[in-house]
Chains A and B, each alone.
Chain A
Amino acid sequence: MLQTKNLTKNFKGLCAVNNLNLSIDEGEIVGIIGPNGAGKTTTFDLITGFLQPTYGNILFEGKDITGRKPHRIARNGIIRTFQLDRIFHDFTVFQNIVAASNLVARIGLWEAVWNTSTYSRKAKNTWDHAEKIIQFIGLDDKKNEIARNLSHGHQKLLGIAVALAANPKLLLLDEPLAGMNPLEVTRALETIGQIRRRGIAILLIEHNMRAVMSICDRMVVLNFGTEIAEGAPEELKQNEEVIQAYLGAEENAA
């Protein structure tokens, strides 16, 4: 579904991502792990067009999407979330989803101004779509609350819902579990599992080891922008290099 070929990004001599060859198949959940500064988020920025690669290509469903603008890539079906709680803070939960549903809505300026019958139909479609997303993510009771007043866990869920509203084929989640309490983590993992069951492939950056290991089909380990290992979670647990670069370091710290 998605392939990166020799994807490379240099920042003034610093190699943030180096010769990365990622691939994700339909319906897969792939985790990207690695210490801070390993180039995980940069990889996301490259795939979604927020950064242009120095070298290399990105293929999605056979098409070369390298260098396209973020909104064009989103229209192809790759939707990302951001670290922290990037949501529309001044909007209600419902408005958040509605604003993010523009690829479903497809409403033009003139339609909206003249209030044509096509507009009413499209608007109703959009509202229905938003309702479904809110129900799916389980925020029905918070529908009319202003996003900034939500708890951190709910804001994180809303962030995922905002991405889902854009009808992704491939969803890129950047630390979806960060800062969540164990209860919220369990709930978010369930949600991610349900998203996968809808046939959406997921690429996931996460530091919560136990959680990623439990949910991912495959994992990719990055260190200093380079892929150092790839495989099923169980295999990686045995991999010396990985343990040294990441798992080991964490154990020592703990």
Chain B
Amino acid sequence: MKLGKNLSCALLLIFLFVVPIFIKSEYHLHVLILCAINIILASSLRAISTVGQLSLGHAGFMSIGAYTSGILVMKLGLSPYVGLLLGGLAAMVLAAVIAYPITRVRTVYFAMLTLFLGEVIRLVITEGREITGGTSGLLNIHPLEPISILGLHIDFATRLPNYYFVLIFMLIVLLFLYRVDRSYIGITFKAIAQDESLSASTGINVARFKAVMFCIGCLIAGLTGGFYAHYVSVLTPDSFGLFTSIYILIYVVVGGTKRFAGAIIGAFILTLIPEMFRTLKEYQPFIFAAVLFLVVFLLPRGIVDLPEQIKIMLRKT
């Protein structure tokens, strides 16, 4: 069993590294990069939710990372790599500052506070025209600088190097979050999500764990934002509105919140579907709503639960 699991993981990895070489279309690569970005965002949102808090401001934290990195690189001439790291850091610092009050409220109140926070961030970006470009956006952000590793010259002007960059970043993030999820700390998180008072009564510092996980999730969102800024080179506040936050949440819910793979599968499928029906772009919210409804009614535990449901159905017949 364990061997089989390791083997399939290895095969998947090889596939992820090899397959883009055969993809000639820049557009298809772009879709894969979007998939990776959304997988990272959804997984980090799920990580925050394992402690029992539902953030509706995730896109806001992503935009902090994106704008910080974009502005620092353009106005101060920093290296995009430094900008990216500082962007992540900025998102984390903001999360840490508001963590103290915000992790003291629960469930729906936490969701509301993060929702407003995300909107406040968006409004600040919209109004800060001199620095952020306002609604017309921050344009012509430099791509990541070319690097040379082992005599290999990598220029991020094309899509393929960006794919590898985000793929490696995604794998690091997923490995980290998976380790957290599966370790002793993961059990503590799930305990907090189930019953905060009971957890506290056994000596768990509930507020601290919630704050730490919130900060880690926002750090990841900020780093992703930083990469996004240099990848797409154009930032507008509307790309990081409430809808984006809700989409990230839908990825997690559709994939399944209970299992680690849920967020990954949800983000992957829901990034592909709208791209497949590109002509129906205007109807994207409808498509998402339809998928969400279907999943909630037919597979309440998300798409990850599909194999098990099929097994149960086969056993019945």
Q: Are B203 and A88 in contact (CB under 8 A)?
A: no
Flag whether B195 is at the interface (Cβ < 8 A). yes
A74 CB–B CB distance under 8 Å: yes
Q: Which residues of B contact A166 (CB under 8 A)?
A: 201-203
Interface string of A93-113 (1 = CB under 8 A from B): 001001111110101010011
Tell me how far the C-beta of A13 lies from the nearest C-beta in chain B, rounded to whole angstroms.
26
Known contacts A91-B190, A99-B191: A109-B185 contact under CB 8 Å: yes
Q: Choose, from A79-87, A177-185, A221-229, A242-250, the stretch at the interface.
A: A79-87
- B98 an interface residue at 8 Å Cβ cutoff? no
**Contact: A103 with B198, CB < 8 Å?**
no
Q: How many residues of A are counted as interface, with CB atoms below 8 angstroms from the partner's CB atoms?
A: 39
Most chain B Cβ neighbours within 10 Å, of A82, A100, A101: A100
A45 to chain B, nearest CB (A): 10
Residue among B194, B200, B212 making CB contact with A91, cutoff 8 Å: B194
Interface residue? A123 (CB, 8 A)? yes
Q: Are B198 and A87 in contact (CB under 8 A)?
A: yes
List residues of B (199-232) whose CB comes within 8 Å of A's CBs: 199-206, 212
Beta-carbon contact of A112 and B191 below 8 Å: no
Complex contact B202–A50 (CB within 8 A): no
Main secondary structure of the interface of B (DSSP, over half): helix
> Cβ of B184 < 8 Å from any Cβ of A?
yes
Q: Are A86 and B198 in contact (CB under 8 A)?
A: yes
Which chain A residues border B212 with CB–CB below 8 Å? 109
**CB within 8 Å for A89 and B203 given contacts A105-B184, A123-B184:** no
Residues on the B chain within 8 Å of A17, using CB: none
The one of A71, A79, A87, A112 that contacts B184, using a Cβ cutoff of 8 Å? A112
- Contact bitstring B179-202, A, C-beta under 8 A = 1, else 0: 110011111101100110111111
Cβ-defined partner of B183 (8 Å) among A79, A86, A90, A112: A112
Indicate whether A162 reaches chain B with its CB closer than 8 angstroms: yes
Q: Is the CB of B195 within 8 A of A86?
A: yes
- Assess the B202–A112 pair: CB atoms within 8 A: no
Choose among A75, A82, A95, A112 the residue that contacts B198 (Cβ–Cβ < 8 A): A82
User: Quick check: A99 and B205 within 8 Å, CB to CB?
Assistant: no
Q: Is the CB of A88 within 8 A of B191?
A: yes
* A98→B187 contact, CB < 8 A: yes
CA distance A198 to B287 in the complex (A): 62
In the complex, whether A214 has a CB less than 8 A from a CB of chain B is no
- Would you call A231 an interface residue if the criterion is a C-beta within 8 Å of the partner chain's C-beta atoms? no
Question: How far apart sit A107 and B186, CA to CA, in the bound complex (Å)?
Answer: 11
Closest B residue by C-beta to A90: B194
Task: Check if A66 is an interface residue, CB within 8 A of chain B.
Answer: no
> Do the beta carbons of A74 and B191 come within 8 Å of each other?
no
Enumerate chain B interface residues (CB-CB to A < 8 A). 176, 179-180, 183-188, 190-191, 194-195, 197-206, 212
**Could you list 22 examples of A-B contacts with CB < 8 Å?**
A50-B197, A50-B200, A69-B205, A70-B197, A71-B200, A71-B204, A75-B203, A80-B201, A82-B201, A87-B198, A88-B190, A88-B194, A88-B198, A90-B190, A99-B199, A101-B202, A102-B203, A103-B202, A105-B184, A112-B183, A113-B176, A119-B183
Extra A-B contacts (14), CB below 8 Å, given A79-B203, A91-B191, A163-B201: A74-B200, A87-B198, A88-B194, A90-B194, A98-B184, A100-B202, A102-B203, A109-B180, A112-B184, A113-B179, A113-B185, A115-B183, A122-B184, A166-B201
